[in-house]
């Protein structure tokens, strides 16, 4: 028997990684050595692994630059409509391998690095994640950038260049400990500072009303310094831009009063100004009304709108002088998409510019603003909705408060005319919530100030129209749309799971990478023994590779033939990691009761970060690790059940764990998870889903066939009925012996022998005020998990179900999502045309 291929040899055979032409490889080696010498000023015999990573990154970046310049030139000449995706989060992960994939450089670089006697995976592991996001919302923005470039849209992602991204999570004695994510410590080879486009942003001050207009004066000025990162499309020679703003104090900052003797202090105080872009707020689905956060939100909006208007006015169309002074055509050339309410200040800021600076009438300015802006809602959880205290606004952004009051006055005037005397409706629909402290409801501002409002999965968009924003739907039904989320198949299949990408390409060709709907062609192979074998083989290889990493990190022996049951996402009560915990304890108890039964072995992996201030979420992590301590050290159980908490879950860890998963846990209470996108990644990578009818799970079941998912639990209507009746946790506790046993073990200290009441807060919550009704779905979840175990014993039937799932993934490409945004919201037409490469003649 021939000896098994090394990873490097295996990679070489994968056609989706591009061709490794001899000249190409030689050029890459030359440029690698040139960068090592001239860019990094290093000799080969003193260079470190990090130096080699930087040399490779610069070598690959060189291939972007010509395309980047040419793409921007192309837009300047063609003057297309441009879309601006405004987000406070861009969860990008690593850039090197994604760039090689999109430029078809992967095999050539692999070969060059191999010939230089280096290890590609070791170099890739030197790159820091760009963790400028919390979870789904920030990662969605990153997938959207990839799709917009791949579809040839003139698109720009605008956000903040946080000096510190999402914290690194350490688990110490079972508890989460946060450490700062100093991701820029060694420099970022993918960004280019653009000081020539620096913009002033104003805060505080006061408003003066003059006959000739309004002036906002005596403000504090902060400078916004842009950093550009290239965003390459998939093999179409288009490179778009993500522009992130960094805060800089102006040179004269506080120095005018230094004659008081405080020169040194004045220079030190520049830090205060620059704190605006210091750190990402680490909350997922939770609003924290801090002044610094409002400053961040206005900072990104004010800098970006100046940029948008500069670009609109200066766009060439056969002429070099300023072409467009008439702002009324702005909506024909500019679309602004607000990723949640975080950049909602774009609405009053655009109004301020149009009225105060451009001297337009209110009516004209409002028409332009509404036709330009569109709003994506990401959650219906009340604690996540942004409600800013009016007095904070009065102090920080006094002119914007005036504008919001006027927007509200006209809005309520319209509602009054439609519903005379309906005062309760006016109260419900106002942008200003009255109460002990008046607050601005940012979602209401976004709905009133946008021409389109969308949810992120069909069920979520329906809930928005029927409940949370029903009053607004009643008066403007044409505004409300659905745009089901998607994921980029470049990162989430070709890059992270090349083995599977190749098995698929061998059957249906490579075009599916740009047109994921073609995956349905796999259905005609569903009974093909060769495909079944190949799919199972790729999964097994991915599991072996991941198991090796797990054993190294956690010193727990992993059974690679066990079912890999994976639950990774932010830790939150609504995502119900506690329901998973109850299943683990129940399974443990069953194995202990009948140790000689032929149990399906499982390795259960749970991972995710808890917001630092979210006590319950941190306790959930402690409970998971405590359960793991007991289960993993019980010799009776052996390798039939292992529980691992995956530390520091992030984009790069997702890229490793998702291809190795057999079972994907998507178990939120129906009506709480707006969409989810991890669910789609698992489906595309050959895992089966156990889940509730929530978010995009509903559409996944529709696409793959409900019989090909493990669906359990209450539907939205059942949850509503239970709310009406009143949810009584004790009823389930007293009726279901396995549930009672599990809860008693938690509360009596079975998992915390040193501190029996360690988990009393969790027990008390589950028994007496569980908003997410964990017990109500317990029984059906356990039954459903038994079906999972039974099917896993039949590998052929399991793999057939996997093929049905992969074949049903087409809808969940972010290319489809973005095509719908483009046509139905932005008024733009996507295109799969390539533009000329820089080395082609024009």
Residues marked as catalytic:
378, 569-570, 575, 677, 681
Q: Report the distance separating Cα 340 and Cα 831, nearest Å.
A: 27
Q: Give Cβ neighbours of residue 469 (< 8 Å, ≥ 6 apart).
A: 377, 443, 447, 453, 480
Asked if 129 and 98 count as a contact pair (C-beta separation under 8 A), the reply is no
- Tokens describing residue 328: 């009324």
Q: Report the distance separating Cα 702 and Cα 704, nearest Å.
A: 6
Asked if 694 and 710 count as a contact pair (C-beta separation under 8 A), the reply is no
- Tokens describing residue 730: 């004790």
Task: Please name the residue ranges forming H helices in 125-283.
Answer: 136-150, 263-268, 270-274
Strand ranges inside 180-331, DSSP E: 192-193, 199-203, 206-210, 213-217, 220-232, 239-248
Q: Give Cβ neighbours of residue 758 (< 8 Å, ≥ 6 apart).
A: 622, 626, 749, 752
CA distances in angstroms from 532 to 285, 793, 799, listed in the order given: 40, 15, 6
Q: Bridge-partner residues for 643, per DSSP?
A: 604
Asked if 70 and 835 count as a contact pair (C-beta separation under 8 A), the reply is yes
Q: Report the distance separating Cα 585 and Cα 591, nearest Å.
A: 10
- Tokens describing residue 271: 């830090």
Helix axis angle for 814-821 and 136-150, nearest 10°, is 80
Q: Give Cβ neighbours of residue 82 (< 8 Å, ≥ 6 apart).
A: 75, 154, 155, 156, 311, 333, 334, 335
Helix axis angle for 737-748 and 577-593, nearest 10°, is 100
Helix (H, G, I), strand (E, B) or coil at 389: strand
Q: Report the distance separating Cα 344 and Cα 446, nearest Å.
A: 6
Could you identify the residue written with the tokens 């599990």? 742
- Kindly state the helix (H) or strand (E) to which residue 622 belongs, with its residue range: helix 615-632
Render the burial of 441-461: b for 16+ CB within 10 Å, e for the rest. bbbbbbbbbbbbbbbbbbbbb
In degrees, rounded to 5, the angle at the alpha carbon of residue 56 between the alpha carbons of residues 51 and 57 is 95
Phi and psi for 346 in degrees, rounded to 5? Answer: -55, -30
Q: Bridge-partner residues for 241, per DSSP?
A: 156, 230
Burial of 335 (0-12, 13-18, 19+ CB in 10 A): buried
Q: Report the distance separating Cα 378 and Cα 385, nearest Å.
A: 10
Asked if 167 and 612 count as a contact pair (C-beta separation under 8 A), the reply is yes
Burial of 185 (0-12, 13-18, 19+ CB in 10 A): exposed
Nearest to 328 by CA among 301, 363, 291: 363
Half-sphere exposure of 731 (CA within 13 A, CB side): 9
Burial of 510 (0-12, 13-18, 19+ CB in 10 A): middle
Q: Report the distance separating Cα 733 and Cα 582, nearest Å.
A: 12
CA 8 to chain centroid, in Å, comes to 31
Helix (H, G, I), strand (E, B) or coil at 711: strand
Q: Bridge-partner residues for 482, per DSSP?
A: 455
């Amino acid at each position: 028997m021939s000896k098994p291929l090394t990873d490097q040899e295996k990679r070489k055979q994968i056609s989706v990684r591009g061709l490794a032409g001899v000249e190409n490889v030689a050029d890459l080696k030359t440029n690698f050595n040139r960068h090592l010498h001239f860019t990094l000023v290093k000799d080969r015999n003193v260079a470190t692994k990090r130096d080699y990573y930087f040399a490779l990154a610069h070598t690959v970046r060189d291939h972007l630059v010509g395309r980047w310049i040419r793409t921007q030139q192309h837009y300047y000449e063609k003057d297309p409509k441009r879309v601006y995706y405004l987000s406070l989060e861009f969860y990008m992960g690593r850039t090197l391998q994604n760039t090689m994939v999109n430029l078809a450089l992967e095999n050539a670089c692999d070969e060059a690095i191999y010939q230089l006697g280096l290890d590609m995976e070791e170099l890739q592991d030197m790159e820091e994640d760009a963790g400028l996001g919390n979870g789904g919302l920030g990662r969605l923005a990153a997938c959207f950038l990839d799709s917009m470039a791949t579809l040839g849209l003139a698109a720009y992602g605008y956000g903040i260049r946080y000096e510190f991204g999402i914290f690194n999570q350490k688990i110490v004695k079972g508890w989460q400990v946060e450490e700062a994510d100093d991701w820029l410590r060694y420099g970022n080879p993918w960004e280019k500072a653009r000081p020539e486009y620096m913009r002033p942003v104003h805060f505080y001050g006061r408003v003066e009303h003059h006959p000739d207009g309004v002036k906002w004066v005596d403000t504090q000025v902060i400078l916004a310094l842009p950093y550009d990162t290239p965003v390459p499309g998939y093999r179409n020679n288009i490179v778009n831009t993500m522009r992130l703003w960094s805060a800089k104090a102006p040179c004269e900052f506080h120095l005018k009063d230094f004659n008081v003797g405080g020169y040194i202090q004045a220079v030190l105080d520049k830090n205060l100004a620059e704190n605006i872009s210091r750190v990402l707020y680490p909350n997922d689905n939770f609003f924290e009304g801090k002044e610094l956060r409002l400053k961040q939100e206005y900072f990104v909006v004010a800098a970006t709108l100046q940029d948008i208007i500069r670009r609109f006015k200066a766009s060439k169309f056969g002429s070099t002088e300023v072409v467009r002074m008439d702002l009324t055509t702005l909506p024909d050339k500019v679309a602004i998409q607000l990723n949640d309410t975080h950049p909602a200040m774009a609405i009053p800021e655009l109004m301020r510019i149009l009225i105060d600076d451009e001297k337009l009438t209110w009516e004209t300015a409002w028409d332009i603003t509404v036709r330009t802006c569109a709003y994506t809602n990401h959650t219906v959880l009340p604690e996540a909705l942004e409600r800013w205290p009016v007095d904070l606004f009065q102090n920080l952004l006094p002119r914007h408060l005036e504008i919001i009051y006027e927007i509200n006055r006209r809005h309520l005037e319209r509602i009054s005319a439609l519903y005379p005397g309906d005062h309760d409706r006016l109260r419900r629909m106002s942008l200003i919530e009255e109460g002990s402290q008046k607050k601005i409801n940012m979602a209401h501002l976004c709905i009133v100030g946008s021409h389109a409002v969308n949810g992120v999965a069909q069920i979520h968009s329906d809930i928005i129209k029927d409940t949370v924003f029903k009053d607004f739907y009643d008066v403007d039904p044409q505004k409300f749309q659905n745009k089901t989320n998607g994921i980029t198949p470049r990162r989430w299949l070709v890059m992270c799971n090349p083995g599977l990408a190749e098995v698929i390409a061998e059957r249906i060709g490579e075009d599916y990478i740009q047109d994921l709907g073609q995956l349905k062609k796999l259905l005609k192979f569903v009974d093909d023994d060769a495909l079944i074998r190949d799919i199972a083989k790729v999964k097994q290889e991915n599991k072996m590779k991941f198991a090796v990493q797990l054993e190294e990190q956690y010193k727990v022996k992993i059974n690679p033939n066990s079912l890999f049951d994976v639950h990774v996402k932010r830790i939150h009560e609504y995502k119900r990691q506690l329901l998973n915990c109850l299943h683990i304890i129940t399974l443990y108890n069953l194995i202990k009761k009948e140790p000689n039964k032929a149990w399906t072995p499982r390795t259960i992996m749970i991972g995710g970060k808890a917001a630092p201030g979210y006590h319950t979420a941190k306790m959930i992590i402690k409970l998971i690790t405590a359960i793991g301590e007991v289960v993993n050290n019980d010799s009776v159980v052996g390798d039939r059940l292992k529980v691992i908490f995956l530390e520091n879950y992030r984009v790069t860890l997702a890229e490793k764990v998702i291809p190795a998963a057999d079972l994907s846990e998507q178990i939120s209470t129906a009506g709480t998870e707006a969409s989810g996108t991890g669910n789609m990644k698992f489906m595309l990578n050959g895992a089966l889903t156990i889940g509730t009818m929530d978010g995009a799970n509903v559409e996944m079941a529709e696409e793959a066939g409900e019989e090909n998912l493990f669906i359990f639990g209450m539907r939205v209507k059942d949850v509503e009925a239970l709310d009406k009746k009143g949810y009584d946790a004790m009823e389930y506790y007293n009726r279901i012996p396995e549930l009672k046993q599990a809860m008693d073990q938690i509360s009596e200290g079975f998992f915390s022998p040193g501190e029996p009441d360690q988990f009393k807060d969790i027990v008390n919550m589950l028994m007496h005020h569980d908003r997410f009704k964990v017990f109500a779905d317990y029984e059906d979840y356990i039954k459903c998990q038994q079906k999972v175990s039974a099917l896993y014993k039949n590998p052929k039937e399991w793999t057939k179900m996997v093929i049905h799932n992969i074949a049903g993934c087409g809808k969940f490409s972010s290319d489809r999502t973005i095509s719908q945004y483009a046509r139905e919201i932005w008024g733009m037409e996507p295109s799969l045309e390539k533009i000329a490469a820089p080395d082609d003649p024009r």
